[in-house]
A and B are shown apart, each in its own frame.
Chain A
Amino acid sequence: MNGQQQEAALSQELKRRIDVIQSDEAGDESHRALTSTELWTAWIIVFVTLAIGLVVSL
């Protein structure tokens, strides 16, 4: 197999995939990012759990 041809194909494919993903990102930001509600939900679970731990250890 022609190594250069393979490398060129991979490079081209990488560029295409980056374009697809960044277009997707630009077109619909909320689609892929974790929303602030989900993020806060996750952190609240962490802090409440740790607070319970502190109470138990006291």
Chain B
Amino acid sequence: MDGVDYRFRHPSYRIGGFALMSQTQEAVRQAGTFGSLPVLKNEREWGFADFTWVNIGLAIATWAFLVGGATALFVGFGQGIAAMIIGNVAGVIIMLLATTVISSRYGVEQYTILRSIFGFGGVALIFFTVITFTEVGWSALLGAMFGRATAQVSNVVFGTAIDPNSILVTVFALICIAVAWALVAKGPVSIKAFNRIVAPGLALVIVGLIIYLFTQTTWTDLMAAAPLAPFDDPALNFAIAVEFNLGVAFSWWPIMGSLGRLTKSPQASLWPAFIGLAIVTIIAQLVGMASALTLGDWDPTVWLMTAGGAVFGVIALLFIAFANITSLASIVYSNTLALRQASGKLFATTRWEVLAAIFLVPAAIVSFFPGLLYDQFLLFVTFSGAFLSAVCGTVIADYFVLRKQRINLGALYAPGSKSRYHFHGGFNLAAMISSLAGVGTYLWLYNPMTLETDALFNWTTASVPAVAVSFVLHLLLTPLLNSAKSGRGGYELPTELESAKK
């Protein structure tokens, strides 16, 4: 990032009576871009338009087509439209209120912000369980999709016969991961530059697919098309389709706060992300669903070759493969930041490139089983959603209601027990219990592993009650476990601006 405070380049700038050495200057610059330092207003990279393009680039990656195709497994086109709108609009807004808005206000990435809600230990626990599972899964999935798309192109152009689960798909996936790593090593500017090319290109692919679909089928046929593999109960199918799309919306949570810190205002973080992740996603998913219903296969790397012939298919797949790299780079950037914050002193001095590589190792290992995440896509997305929706409910209750959008920045960075965000030995029990209660509510209403559901699930879904339970319980438990008298969490001082406790 070039937007470093100009004072660091001015020769008169001094620390401790000594001129800053170039290496020290570089260390401070790196800490702003790749580390934990808050980003100042004049260093923010993304205004409304830039962040809109970033989110459009994220939204119309292959996963949107994949989600659209997976939705078609359960419902037809009419109910699919409703499920996508409900799941994405409601889920994305809740998710954004728990991520970008907070990070943008303070210029701090979300895993540092979360110390004020879960405590230092709580953040580490969440990151190394829920977030690692979710993000490694998505990274591996993107790599596998890149691999399958590239294999399909090779099969058409060079007449090869690469199987979707062959070792060559793994090799392509590893190439995708390596290129994404190289992009991330250069920082957020390179991701922005890539997105400015990829996002408009993918928009053209979507327009091309829409034209193709309406020349091949009619609106009446599309509305009458049967879902690909539904359950017997239509109400359950619709509820699962909504829940699946809610899960997709919540699955943005781990990366959005880290991107939001680079936006120029909360307004420039909330609405562009909503436009990209909800509105544009819905359009891309609808195209994916319509294609799957028309062509009878839910995997976009298969139906894209059928749609429009070899030339269009090859171009579309190449663009989508390219887009997967930018999506993966965004995931890796955010999670590398998170890894540094959540790991305490373990990776505090590790070089940024090395840290990014460490994050990618598990994804590279999963890439050796390219069919794994494809086959368990519904389970993966909804299981992630169980945890992320509950965390969102807790975060929103804490930040908007209890803290009234005010956080003590000094306390976020104060070491261990010297911080008022240390809570009980590094864990905010109120937040942990309320989040776990939210997860429990989710699993009681809908168990993704067994597919067992409670009767209420058909009307309420599982994510929405999970958000509500964790939200309400956190409001109730906080005064009990972190009373004003105890001073834990600094809840008694919602409007103070003083530095952290010394």
Q: Which of B24, B89, B405 has the most CB of A within 10 A?
A: B24
Bound complex: CA A11 to CA B458 (Å)? 53
Q: Which of A1, A8, A21, A46 contacts B89 (CB 8 A)?
A: A46
Using known A-B contacts A9-B24, A10-B31, determine if residue A18 contacts B85 with beta carbons closer than 8 Å.
no
Say whether B94 contacts A46, CB under 8 Å. yes
- A50 CB contacts on chain B under 8 angstroms: 86, 90, 464
Q: Which residues of A (1-21) have their CB < 8 Å from a CB of B? A: 1-2, 5-6, 8-10, 12-15, 17-18, 20-21
- A26 CB contacts on chain B under 8 angstroms: 497
Using known A-B contacts A6-B27, A8-B16, A32-B265, determine if residue A49 contacts B90 with beta carbons closer than 8 Å.
yes
Bound complex: CA A10 to CA B423 (Å)? 26
Bound complex: CA A20 to CA B410 (Å)? 12
Say whether B16 contacts A33, CB under 8 Å. no
Q: Which of A20, A22, A46, A57 contacts B497 (CB 8 A)?
A: A22
Q: Is B212 an interface residue (CB 8 A)?
A: no
Q: Which of A9, A31, A38 contacts B15 (CB 8 A)?
A: A9
Say whether A5 contacts B21, CB under 8 Å. yes
Q: Is B220 an interface residue (CB 8 A)?
A: no
The stretch from B37-45, B306-314, B424-432 touching chain A is B37-45
Nearest to A44 among chain B residues (CB) is B93
* Per-position 1/0 for A27-58, Cβ under 8 A of B: 00001111000110011011001101110111
Range, interface on chain A: 35 or more
- A39 CB contacts on chain B under 8 angstroms: 97, 400
Q: Which of B40, B79, B242 contacts A21 (CB 8 A)?
A: B40
- B97 CB contacts on chain A under 8 angstroms: 39, 42
Q: Which residues of B (327-345) have their CB < 8 Å from a CB of A? A: none
Q: Which of B28, B90, B409 contacts A10 (CB 8 A)?
A: B28
Q: Which residues of B (25-58) have their CB < 8 Å from a CB of A? A: 27-28, 31, 37-38, 40-41
Say whether B107 contacts A21, CB under 8 Å. yes
* Per-position 1/0 for B80-111, Cβ under 8 A of A: 00100110011001101100010011110000
Say whether A20 contacts B15, CB under 8 Å. no
Say whether A49 contacts B89, CB under 8 Å. yes
- How many Å from the CB of B227 to the closest CB on chain A? 16
Q: Which of A5, A13, A43, A53 contacts B18 (CB 8 A)?
A: A5
30 A-B residue pairs with CB within 8 Å: A1-B21, A1-B23, A2-B21, A6-B24, A6-B27, A9-B27, A13-B28, A13-B31, A17-B37, A18-B499, A24-B41, A26-B497, A32-B105, A32-B266, A33-B266, A34-B101, A34-B266, A34-B267, A38-B266, A39-B400, A42-B93, A45-B89, A46-B94, A49-B85, A49-B90, A50-B86, A53-B82, A54-B459, A56-B86, A56-B238
